[in-house]
Structure 1
């Protein structure tokens, strides 16, 4: 029989279950999978695009459908766990993620892949908050910080491992293996949750606001769809304009509804706190840049430089190494200089890396790319870690739960918009430079879809000039993206230096994620 522990039970009374570390191991496996899936598909996209005939817009949706659904459902998913049982909903989330992985592995066209990724986003939205929220029922306070650190590290470690694992799988199996690899780890997680986790819930938790959830998902979906379609249809196309208008209307309706709600799903009043707002925007810019770069870079490494999937994953390691090293070193710098100084300096470093990368030419070689990738990874982490810590530290203790939920949601939205906006910019710049003179109409249209499609056409026709033009056009598009990233990062760095509130250096220390709940 499952024991139900109410949320209002004293935390200090948690008994030391001898199986608690095994249960933590299962949660770590689940979080590793979520970390993989933030990056593993990026390496597979070029191969999938070639096999499925996906254009740039469809590739954006294959990446973005997961992130959009994840962002829209994370907050209501946490409430579902509070209301109906965290163990039950965590298992349900893992099961949905498992189902999405199986659908993706067996998919035979783009639409099924996009649907599978969206289904995986539903599962991830349940797993992410609930994996942290069950820890108080397993660990006493003296062990809880260690457990939170382990499970948070699992998610972080999964991101750099994703491209390498994905590359190895693609070199040995078909592209569906990047979905199928989730199955054994998720199955272990479900089994362990069934036998090792106690059930916990909060009977006083509010009901999930279905209308607000629908408005969030529809508004964000309409915005992303409009941005992805605009390079192909034109920014003044009636469909694109209607989608933008619908997004504005839906988001406005969401804001008005949340402002009138006694217990809002998104506590927008927190944005009135300058420290929280500005640090949240800095963290969101980081996710915007990272997600965009992870979409743009694999195609450059694979199509232009000619690496295989595993080689592409390995060549992304300088960015991941920079991120991990900076994440470890960030806190001592924050303690000494304070969050505003570290954040503005880090954004300046990120701007420098992007502007350096925008000088990439066909003759630059990988060494130059590795240099600016490593610098970009360090700048990203040095900005993100202090910004998140300072954002949460700007909140009173009784608002930490709603604040951390809003922060994570806005960050995910930044990631979705990074793929959509920077991908759209890339597609437009690539199409404007590609020379398709002498090609038939269908061949020219196919070559315009993506650099991979252009290479496929060039190989079929034996047209070396087309392949060279596609590489040049893609480099132009990538450099335009990096230039925009560099300017945006530099402007944000200046704003951070001027506007971020100066606090005591120790204020940048973030509370443990597991305790950031109401």
Structure 2
């Protein structure tokens, strides 16, 4: 009998490397284009409002892909779907960079969004299936890079590339990274097919997919274009109606596109609720506070953007401590105090006189990243600990849907509270402070919900588990 060949790239190393590369690309692309929209509009001789469709196309398309991500991964294999989406994302990035007119750029950006909507849930499924629940605390260092650092680096990097090269390079930077990641994944990843149902839930697809797209469009455009504008109002109402119909159908269907029964798992349901609340609070704060900073100080948009950057540094530090604290303290004891402290920090940012002091703002934003990042990572790791591997694909898709809608709702809430704060002359800081206080309220609710988290951290799998034994034979990954 011949000994099994040693893989060229250990599978778990390949999972970490490819996932990190893909999510960094996806994370950067969510923010890197924003500083270049004026330049893009100018190059194509179009108004900025038309260029905004570049970002809207990406976000709406991303939302459209989320409902089918879990089904596709289970049906065709997580490796095949993930690498296929990564290849499409990379190719679409090249097309964006080569675009010579705005419609082509918008279309290529939409393709990017569709592929990006598959990358996150399928990529996290690959990652979580490669590591047992008790090993996932080490993944905090991997999970935080694309979710915290890359979106924060997007605006300054986008401005730098646009100013010194051209906006085309915002997309070209993805091409070598994506091509290398696809190559590493093709060699090192293992295929995982869970055997999804043969029948595709067409009714669930036709209800859930447009519902998410319409709601994302309404929540994204409502604050800036007005909630009563026909396109926004119709999209919001129709999206809400379709979502309600989708929930009814998915609860009754024998083979639903999205398995809502997963919410009967207490840890997962609690984690999903916390993901929505914390995403709403954080995204709302990152939207409202730079506006407050400008209203109070009269500073530039660049100053305001730099004022919130320490939040990403705090998140990075949180990723270094969660893997040490979670096994000792357990999810509940770690998340509840962190969210309680985060509530106080959020509220302090709205106190009169705080926004006027740049270093106080930077210190508080660093604390936001540290304490909220600790809670978010704890929730993300604890929420999936009790799920069986075959359910991870569906669970990841649902989790991303809930978190995406939560973030969009948080921004919309803050925008609604700010209301007419964008007047002429010196702006009144009051509405902006109210919006920031509302984000503190969202985090406070999350602290109460976190009391439902498990007391103990996940333990190792049974010793006779064949999958665990196989994983144990592989070289450990130092994340």
Q: Deviations over 1:345-392 (max 9, x none)?
A: 222222222222223669714213212211211232122122223322
Q: Residue 476 of structure 2 corresponds to which residue in structure 1?
A: none
Q: Is the 8 A contact 2:282 2:439 kept in 1?
A: no
Q: Residue 505 of structure 1 corresponds to which residue in structure 2?
A: 456
Q: Are residues 266 and 359 of structure 1, via their aligned partners in 2, closer, same or farther at CA, if it must alter by over 3 Å?
A: same
What secondary structure, in the 3-state scheme, does the structure 2 residue paired with 1:212 have? helix
Q: Residue 16 of structure 1 corresponds to which residue in structure 2?
A: 6
Q: Are residues 484 and 198 of structure 1, via their aligned partners in 2, closer, same or farther at CA, if it must alter by over 3 Å?
A: closer
Where structure 2 has 5 or more consecutive residues not aligned to the other structure, the ranges are: 462-466, 469-479
Structure 2 counterpart of 1:490, from 444, 455, 461 = 444
1:358 aligns with 2:350: yes
What secondary structure, in the 3-state scheme, does the structure 2 residue paired with 1:506 have? coil
Q: Is the 8 A contact 2:72 2:81 kept in 1?
A: yes
CA distance in 2, matches of 1:481, 1:397: 40
Q: Residue 386 of structure 1 corresponds to which residue in structure 2?
A: 378
Q: Residue 155 of structure 1 corresponds to which residue in structure 2?
A: 146
Q: Residue 225 of structure 1 corresponds to which residue in structure 2?
A: 217
Q: Residue 7 of structure 1 corresponds to which residue in structure 2?
A: none
Q: Is the 8 A contact 1:287 1:415 kept in 2?
A: yes
Counterparts of residues 3-402 of structure 1 (less than 5 Å): 15-20=5-10, 25-41=17-33, 53-54=47-48, 63=55, 65-105=57-97, 115-131=107-123, 152=143, 155-156=146-147, 157-193=149-185, 196-197=187-188, 200=191, 202=193, 204-207=195-198, 208-231=200-223, 235=227, 240-296=232-288, 304-306=298-300, 308=302, 315-359=307-351, 364-395=356-387, 399-402=391-394
Q: Is the 8 A contact 1:69 1:217 kept in 2?
A: no
Q: Are residues 508 and 235 of structure 1, via their aligned partners in 2, closer, same or farther at CA, if it must alter by over 3 Å?
A: farther
Shift of 1:250: 0.6
Shift of 1:332: 4.2
CA distance in 1, matches of 2:58, 2:4: 36
Q: Are residues 253 and 140 of structure 1, via their aligned partners in 2, closer, same or farther at CA, if it must alter by over 3 Å?
A: closer
Q: Deviations over 1:232-268 (max 9, x none)?
A: 6654566655433312321122112212323322211
Q: Is the 8 A contact 1:215 1:251 kept in 2?
A: yes
Q: Is the 8 A contact 1:104 1:117 kept in 2?
A: yes
CA distance in 2, matches of 1:343, 1:150: 17
CA distance in 2, matches of 1:350, 1:488: 11
CA distance in 2, matches of 1:346, 1:140: 26
CA distance in 2, matches of 1:91, 1:192: 10
Q: Is the 8 A contact 1:67 1:412 kept in 2?
A: no
Q: TM-score, normalised by structure 1?
A: 0.71
Q: Deviations over 1:124-183 (max 9, x none)?
A: 13333444566799x899xx9799778646535534443453343244233443233222
Per mean C-alpha deviation after superposition, the further-off stretch among 299-308 and 28-37 is 299-308
Shift of 1:489: 1.6
1:430 aligns with 2:405: no
Q: Deviations over 1:421-460 (max 9, x none)?
A: 434544x2433xx12xxxxxxxxxxxxxxxxxxxxxxxxx
Q: Deviations over 1:445-478 (max 9, x none)?
A: xxxxxxxxxxxxxxxxxxxxx4xx3xx35x5554
Q: Residue 481 of structure 1 corresponds to which residue in structure 2?
A: 435
Q: Is the 8 A contact 1:93 1:123 kept in 2?
A: yes
When the two chains are superposed, the root-mean-square deviation of aligned CA atoms in Å is: 4.3
Per mean C-alpha deviation after superposition, the further-off stretch among 410-419 and 297-306 is 297-306
What secondary structure, in the 3-state scheme, does the structure 1 residue paired with 2:384 have? helix
CA distance in 2, matches of 1:14, 1:478: 63
Q: Residue 456 of structure 1 corresponds to which residue in structure 2?
A: none
Q: Are residues 306 and 508 of structure 1, via their aligned partners in 2, closer, same or farther at CA, if it must alter by over 3 Å?
A: farther
